[in-house]
Structure 1
Amino acid sequence: MKARKSNQEPRKKAKSNKEQPGKITIYDIAQRLQISASTVSRALQNNALINKETREQVQQVANELGYVPNWIASSLRKKRSNIIGLIVPRTSMYFQSNAISGIQHEAHKYGFSVVIAQSDESVAMEKEVVNTLYSLRVDGLLAAASMFTTNYDHFNPFIKNNIPLVFFDRVPIGFEGYSITGNDFKGGFLATEHLIQRGCKKIAHFAGALTCNLYEYRLAGYKAALEKYNIPYDESLVHVHNLTMDAGSVAAKELLSSGKDIDGLFSANDSSAVAFIQEAKKQGIDIPGQIKVVGYSNDLSSRIIAPSLTTIEQSGYKMGAKAVSTLIALINKNDALTIDENYIFDLELIERESTKN
């Protein structure tokens, strides 16, 4: 009897990983070392059950072959990625770059990696990166909101799914959850009071968008100091802009040509304060002789501008470290730790040449 011919096509031989660059797996490492794939997996995780010599051999071969762990698949198995998402307005901001350093160093202590995204002060971009980080299955999210974020609905995927979320520095108005901030009201008050105590009576203010908690509170502190010393609040002396160097330069030109004859300026960040000093010097105005200036953040620029800038120190590194330790405690559900829901850092004024008598 003749054998019946199969209707099935012969199976094609699977392509080797050599023909598929970037597809190296733990099985390739296991084959090279003639050990089991489970041993390779444990060795790559630095599991103490695998002896040190084997762990080192596995790591060496993994490096030689260019093995890259599939962390998404791993996170699905473990239900934990050990990755934190981080959203900042601009990485170029001195305060935010300091905060990022604190976040990364503190996260590393706990065995977490950080994926950093930038909103570039755009609500649309912020929404996009929130969705991206959620889809990456990060274990928790740290965020400093954009200057124009007026609600936090786009953070709902984290909130509704009980994925820890901590805002730091910039917090959307009305947010009820964990936050780490500086005492911005006190900072605005200290800066303005310092100018008044140095003899200033007509003090202008450069503010950021008042949709942002920082600039709302710093303006409130400015107003409170004026009220304490019986100086009338003049809304025309408040210039609201995005606090970049370019915007600060434009605001400085407008203010200095307005005929207001100011004798002091409190800027809600150092960049705009530095831009004001530069423009004033171009116009032959003596700083601090004619106008005294206080900034905010203690940027590097505040130390190298001439005259050096009096400013408010708000400790970006410490704030970042505190934010990430709070987030990780929430991720780990560490009931042994006392977690402050709304932690507020104290501030200090650093006096330099721009306010000397």
Structure 2
Amino acid sequence: MKQQPGKQPATKKANANKDDVGKVTIYDIANRLKISASTVSRALQNNSLINKETRELVQQTADELGYVPNWIASSLRKKRSNIIGLIVPRTSMYFQSNAISGIQHEAHKHGFSVVIAQSGESVAMEKEVVQTLYSLRVDGLLAASSMFTTSYEHFNPFIKNNIPLVFFDRVPSGFDGFAVTGDDFKGGFLATEHLILQGCKNIAHFAGALTCNLYEKRLAGYKAALEKYKIPFNQDLLFVHNLTLDAGAEAAKKIFSEKIKIDGLFAANDSSAVAFIQEARKHKIDVPGKIKVVGYSNDLSSRIISPSLTTIEQSGYRMGEKAASTLVSIINKTEQIALNQQYVFDVELILRESTIGNQ
């Protein structure tokens, strides 16, 4: 039977101070409206068993009283929170922001909200946010590990308790569970081979921390292309840093000040490649006339820098969608997914002015 509200609905806004916010319960709303707590609960869930007038009145009263749903208690009752945890190194990274958009779109489509945490490329912070998201009882976790993460032991609370975990883009060494990545070896190979085919023989490489699977594989692709074309690998042309604009600029200054002979550069991200081009301009070194440059990610800066940057497209949005759909499928058990599934996205070389001029 549909229950009607009492005759004395609340008309004045509750004078709750900040300390009271969040402490209001469905029983307070029920007492105010002279209806049962179960009716309030159903009304707040927009249950069609409760008539529209009552649902609207309950919601209005909840707003006036400052009611905040206790979703942790609710998830304990339902054994489900409909919330996915997401850990990324930095939301400001172009690739990660694209991946986040894809994740949120896919998660929302299936009725999940996403709680996002940043590690800031800090292993200590990553460990902290893993514990926080575990304590929040998220239904599953998506993670792109920090550049310096060498093990996945701190993710064990999820693994040991059978809470779905999917890594994307960056995967800790030795992890053999669900992962969605790009073909970073191929990307490194394509970038370096392109430089070689453009006539480059002394090709520098800006790499990220080699504890990270991405940069290790991009370096391996770089070396494989050199080997294919019988160009010796030169350790002096390898620059390992954190791939920021500042780090890229410092590496470029070292190359120019020490007159290190290069005619090509493959940078493992676009930011450091852009920094190199900017520094080259200051030293009146022509790109691509004297040095040809390839980046990685196809972020916005690669299109607006002059000359525009040849780069590798790695499909951040689609990778985010795939990571989220994989996690949702595991949570919902909607399909049988083979254990140790590793999904690898193809990559594409995007040709621009930094290697081919105005052609």
**Same fold, TM exceeding 0.5?**
yes
Q: Structure 1 residue 158 and structure 2 residue 120: aligned?
A: no
Structure 2 gaps, min length 5: 1-13
Q: CA deviation at 1:165?
A: 0.6
Structure 1 gaps, min length 5: 1-15
SS in 2 for 1:170: coil
Matches within 5 A, 1:35-184: 35-184=35-184
Q: Which amino acid aligns with 2:221?
A: G
Q: CA deviation at 1:110?
A: 1.1
Q: 1:213, 1:266 → 2: CA distance?
A: 17
After alignment, is 44-53 or 334-343 more displaced?
A: 334-343
Q: CA deviation at 1:28?
A: 2.5
Contact 2:330 2:337 in 1 (8 A): no
| Alignment correspondent of 2:312 | 312
Contact 2:177 2:340 in 1 (8 A): no
Q: 1:350, 1:108 → 2: CA distance?
A: 31
Q: 2:16, 2:118 → 1: CA distance?
A: 37
Query: Aligned pair in 2 of structure 1 residues 17, 28: CA closer, same or farther (>3 Å)?
Result: farther
Q: Percent identity?
A: 79
After alignment, is 338-347 or 168-177 more displaced?
A: 338-347
Q: CA deviation at 1:35?
A: 2.4
After alignment, is 28-37 or 144-153 more displaced?
A: 28-37
Q: Which amino acid aligns with 2:20?
A: P
| Alignment correspondent of 2:210 | 210
Matches within 5 A, 1:195-206: 195-206=195-206
After alignment, is 191-200 or 281-290 more displaced?
A: 191-200
After alignment, is 211-220 or 84-93 more displaced?
A: 84-93
Q: 1:121, 1:86 → 2: CA distance?
A: 14
| Alignment correspondent of 2:233 | 233
SS in 1 for 2:243: coil
Q: CA deviation at 1:51?
A: 3.0
SS in 1 for 2:84: strand
Q: CA deviation at 1:256?
A: 2.1
TM-score by structure 2 length?
0.91
Q: 1:156, 1:206 → 2: CA distance?
A: 33
Q: Which amino acid aligns with 1:33?
A: L
Q: Structure 1 residue 245 and structure 2 residue 248: aligned?
A: no
Q: Which amino acid aligns with 1:102?
A: G
Q: 2:34, 2:79 → 1: CA distance?
A: 30
| Alignment correspondent of 2:277 | 277
Q: Provide, for residues 234-284 of structure 1, a one-character-per-residue CA deviation record: whole Å limited to 9, x for no partner.
A: 111010000011111111111222333211100000010000001000000
| Alignment correspondent of 1:21 | 20
Contact 1:326 1:339 in 2 (8 A): no
Q: CA deviation at 1:43?
A: 1.8
SS in 1 for 2:272: helix
Q: 2:274, 2:16 → 1: CA distance?
A: 57
Q: 1:346, 1:201 → 2: CA distance?
A: 27
Query: Aligned pair in 2 of structure 1 residues 336, 217: CA closer, same or farther (>3 Å)?
Result: closer
SS in 2 for 1:312: strand
Contact 2:117 2:129 in 1 (8 A): yes
Q: Which amino acid aligns with 2:345?
A: F
Q: Provide, for residues 203-224 of structure 1, a one-character-per-residue CA deviation record: whole Å limited to 9, x for no partner.
A: 1100001100000000011111
TM-score by structure 1 length?
0.92
Contact 2:307 2:354 in 1 (8 A): yes
Contact 1:17 1:24 in 2 (8 A): no
Contact 2:16 2:66 in 1 (8 A): no
Q: CA deviation at 1:340?
A: 7.8
Q: 2:16, 2:56 → 1: CA distance?
A: 23
